Amino acid sequence: MTSFERQSMKREAVWYLAFRRFSIAEPPNFAARLISWRIKLMANSKRTRFTLECTECKHRNYNMTKDKKTHPERMETSKYCPFCRKHTPHKETK
């Protein structure tokens, strides 16, 4: 790692800390780098995304992830449905 790369990493770290602490405007390229890092992280992960659907009103309220190797079956949990205004069973959909 060159000294220039070390300096740029330090500069980004300082900007990040200042943004988190004082909520000042972020540097121009910071958001794009953060988004690309998250996309790469999701591409490398073994988790799949799915949606939970209310069994009573059929609204799709929640997005979740799961590992298909450890949980191959469809998931069903009790969650709050804002449309029914009560806790109802939610089933996994694609």
pLDDT by residue (tens digit) across 8-65?
777 777 666 666 655 555 555 666 666 666 666 566 678 888 999 999 999 998 999 9
Residue 23's φ and ψ, nearest 5 degrees, are: 55, 45
- Do 23 and 40 reside in the same domain of the chain? yes
Question: pTM to 2 decimals?
Answer: 0.52
- Do 37 and 53 reside in the same domain of the chain? no
**Total tally of structural domains belonging to the chain:** 2
Indicate which CATH number applies to the domain containing 60.
2.20.28.120
- Do 31 and 62 reside in the same domain of the chain? no
Q: Burial, 90: exposed, middle or buried (Cβ in 10 Å; 0-12, 13-18, 19+)?
A: buried
**Which of 44, 59, 74 is the endpoint of a domain?**
44
- Assigned token pair, 81: 């449905």
